[in-house]
Amino acid sequence: MTITIGAVFTEHIVAGKLHDLRLEGKPVRYPKGPAAVDALTAIPSGELVEILASHIAELAAQESAPIDAIGVAVPGIVRHGVVEDSPNLHQLKGMHLADELARVLAGKGITAPVHVGNDADAIAAGVAATRGHLERLTRVWTIGKGIGYGRWPYVEGVWEGGHITVTLDPKERYCGCGGVGHLEGIMGYRAMRLRFLDMEPEEVFDLARKGDVRCREFVDLWHRALAAATASFIHLAGPGRFYFTGRNVGFLELPLLRSHLEAMVRMSPLLSYSLEVLPQDDEIALIGAGVGAHRALAQ
């Protein structure tokens, strides 16, 4: 039996034990209650690592056998254990997270190898694993403070789909990375707060449902942007199943998204795509982080 620990940074930190890639026991979480969107942004990177290491140590202490591997998923560009950039957790930029976490864990008597990957990729891996589709292309959009794009099987690349350009309007400057015209600059929670300084995103979508013209126009733009990004990946990698999840997936109107996508993808070989909404679930992300660590262990 392979014992791994999966951990995920999003708006909160969560970690759990996996026995042969199945969650065992109750995950541990920081903060313990419902997390605010910016709960982690003000915490220094070293302190975040200490919090995560303490959770991993707590879980490892529950096992009589040694931990085989540790998988960690974080937002941003992650390659070879280094967080090269993370627009929504700026303090992690440039951090050699795998090495730093391994060093802190060694001080706690834990020497298992640490694998670090992108959080959206972890969700894609978790969806594929829980549905028995590890041999199939699985793509996931995560909708939260930022917008993540994950895919399984993992292939080398940046895959920052939330920063794909979906508009040429030079006024679209709301993306957290500073880029113009990005998907996240329209759909991201932070970006929507900047755009609508007089109301929260939840109010925008509520008023749109009640017929407010300004809000309804934005909600249509929000869905057209997601359709444009999805259409781009269909045209690049082919059709298949796309999943949508995350803290704010409740904003998504699947029929509206589908209607925009139908206008953007017209070539008959590309029409066999499907769309599915998944509720936000830490367990899927934890399993996906474990899948990434398990794969790295086998290489």
Q: How far apart are the C-alpha atoms of 79 and 15, rounded to whole Å?
A: 21
Structural domain tally of the chain? 2
- pLDDT score at 73: 96
**Do both 144 and 271 map to the same domain?**
yes
- 243: nearest Cα among 144, 67, 124, 73: 124
Domain annotation covers residue 285: no
**Would 192 be classed as within a structural domain?**
yes
| Helix axis angle, 254-264 to 213-237, nearest 10° | 50
Of 123, 150, 183, the one marking the end of a domain is: 123
- Banded model confidence at residue 35, pLDDT cuts 50, 70, 90: low
Q: Spell out the residues 6+ positions from residue 109 whose beta carbon is closer than 8 angstroms to its own.
A: none
Q: Which residues contact 282 (CB under 8 A, 6 or more apart)?
A: 8, 14, 16, 27, 29
Do 139 and 271 reside in the same domain of the chain?
A: yes
* 111 and 173 in a common domain: no
Q: Which of 123, 145, 174 is the last residue of a domain?
A: 123
282 lies in some domain: no
In a domain, 87, yes or no: yes
Instruction: Look up the domain containing 148 and give its range.
Output: 135-277
Domain membership of residue 291 (yes or no) is: no
Q: Verify that 36 and 116 share a domain, yes or no.
A: yes
| Same domain (yes/no): 40, 153 | no
Q: Say yes or no: 144 and 99 in one domain.
A: no
CB burial of residue 60 (10 Å; 0-12, 13-18, 19+): buried
Co-location of 271 and 139 in the same domain: yes
* Domain identity same for 273 and 219: yes
Give the C-alpha separation, 125 to 238, whole Å. 19
User: Model confidence over 45-83: pLDDT tens digits?
Assistant: 999 999 999 999 999 999 999 999 999 999 999 999 999
Residues 269 and 160 in one domain: yes
Burial grade of 197 (CB within 10 A; 0-12, 13-18, 19 or more): exposed
Residue 294 domain flag = no
Which of 278, 293, 290 minimizes the C-alpha distance to 129? 290
Q: Assess whether 67 and 144 both reside in one domain.
A: no
This prediction has a pTM of 0.92
Q: Are 165 and 273 found together in one domain?
A: yes
Q: Are residues 197 and 80 in the same domain?
A: no
Position of tokens 């979508």?
205
- Tell me whether residue 105 is in a domain: yes
| 128-157 pLDDT tens trace | 999 998 889 999 999 998 999 999 998 888
Residue 136, helix vs strand vs coil: coil
Instruction: Indicate which CATH number applies to the domain containing 111.
Output: 3.30.420.40
The answer as to whether 195 is a domain residue is yes
Cis amide linkage into residue 153, ω under 30° from 0: yes
The rounded distance, in Å, linking the Cα atoms of 145 and 194 is 12
Query: In a 3-state reduction of DSSP, which class is residue 85?
Result: strand
